[in-house]
Amino acid sequence: MKRIGPLLAIFLTVFIDLVGFGVIVPLLPFYGEHFHAQPLTVTLLMAIYSLAQFFSAPLWGRLSDLKGRKPVLMASILGILLSYLWLAFAGSLWELFAARALAGAMAGNIAAAQAYIADVTPPEKRAHGMGLIGAAFGLGFIFGPAIGGLLGGGDPSHPNFVAPALTAAGLSLLAFVFAAVCLKESLAPQVRAMHSERRPLTRFAVLGSAMRDPELRVMVLLLFLVTFVFAGMESTFALWSERNFGWGPRQNGYVFAYTGILAAMIQGGLIRRLAKRFGEAALVAQGAAALALGLLAIPLVHSLLPLLAAMLLLAYGVGVSNPSLSSLISLQAKEAERGVTLGVSQSASSLARVVGPAFAGIAFELVGRSGPFLAGAAIMLAALFLARGLPARKAVNTIP
């Protein structure tokens, strides 16, 4: 265990935790419909997690600057474990919302994990390090939705809700134990002491500082838009596939697992080579274009193979955009404020996961099943123009 390097240790910690998160993804729309929720309410059930995360992520990021990355990771994983137990035995719609809100409030692990990566990687390898977090997401969405789909069953009218939630709780327990045993603290005591002597920065102070930096402002906005459209797709895809193909949790779990495989291959293997060849800014533009094409294609497909091609475009778009933007944000942030700045960027992602599903739910009800995807494609075309304002920097030439 002692031979595990810091990058591998943080990757495995986040991966195990995100498998548990992925187990729940194909289940939630059907769980909401079990309590007679309408499509908009179902998307709000997906969004409540991110609403709570929006408020808590900068606090977790600041706490990781003061107390260290490891204790924050462990505390957040433990809280998520408790939320899964509540979810397993929820008896009403409000309990579903409350359990998901608790999970979101405790979800400070991504901001802390990104800060951990920034602590242990030099600038020229930052995109690759951030790609590992993305790969953990991708792999979590390989195994998680597949497990959740198998446990939830293929019948959309009678899914199994308890087994997937308990499995997610068990995986969180495993991640907690792994972090306690294998993860070494990345933030030196003297750095934590320096942070504690500084005047605490509020979310709005750091956000204001970021918004005054024109490059950082564009980066955060692009991260928001990419997450906005992808979260809208995630929250309405099961509703779309149920109406188009009659699919239940199992079939949706397989599609999300397929998308996760592709995203993991891109973020875990290809992103380093792509960043060296094109630079992070160019990859963000490529990602926006791929997302636009993939979202535009989904309403046009009527069979499995074209749908898989559309999901390939989505996987590439997210796979290159998110780690590239996280790398650029971490490099642009002041060293003494890296954790809290990444927490604010995570807050932007969380806010996008609140308004994205809500927007998609409204579009689904007002425009029809194709509405969320067509609107998302239009937003990504706008993001493609915004990406031109990013610094034309390549990972190999990044200046510390």
pLDDT value, residue 392: 61
Tell me, yes or no, whether 190 lies in a domain: no
Average pLDDT for runs of 10 along the chain of length 400 = 62 77 78 82 81 77 78 87 90 90 81 78 71 73 79 75 87 84 71 53 58 77 93 88 85 83 79 84 92 95 92 92 84 65 74 86 89 94 87 43
pLDDT for position 95: 92
Please report the pLDDT score of residue 333 as a whole number. Answer: 65
192, part of any domain: no
Instruction: Please check whether residue 376 lies inside any domain of the structure.
Output: yes
Is residue 197, in this structure, part of any structural domain at all?
Answer: no
Alpha-carbon span 179 to 113, nearest angstrom: 11
* 198 falls within a domain: no
CATH of the domain at 272: 1.20.1250.20
- At 396 the pLDDT is 38
Residue-wise pLDDT for 30-67, tens only, equals: 888 888 888 788 888 877 887 887 778 777 777 877 77
Distance, in Å, from the CA atom of 306 to the CA atom of 156, rounded to the nearest integer, reads 23
Distances 272 to 64, 265, 327, 333 between C-alpha atoms, Å: 27, 11, 11, 21
Assess if residue 69 is contained within a domain: yes
User: How much is the pLDDT for 394?
Assistant: 43
In whole angstroms, what is the distance from residue 201 CA to residue 59 CA? 10
Of 84, 112, 81, the residue nearest 98 (C-alpha) = 84
252-308 confidence digits (pLDDT tens): 888 888 887 888 788 767 887 888 888 888 899 999 999 999 999 999 998 899 999
- Determine the structural domain holding residue 68 and report its residue range: 6-184+203-397
* DSSP designation for 171: H
User: Number of folded domains in the chain?
Assistant: 1
196 domain-assigned: no
Residue 178 lies in a domain: yes
- Looking at residue 217, its pLDDT comes to 80
> According to the model, what pLDDT value does residue 283 have?
92
Q: Which of 104, 103, 96 is nearest to 161 (CA)?
A: 96
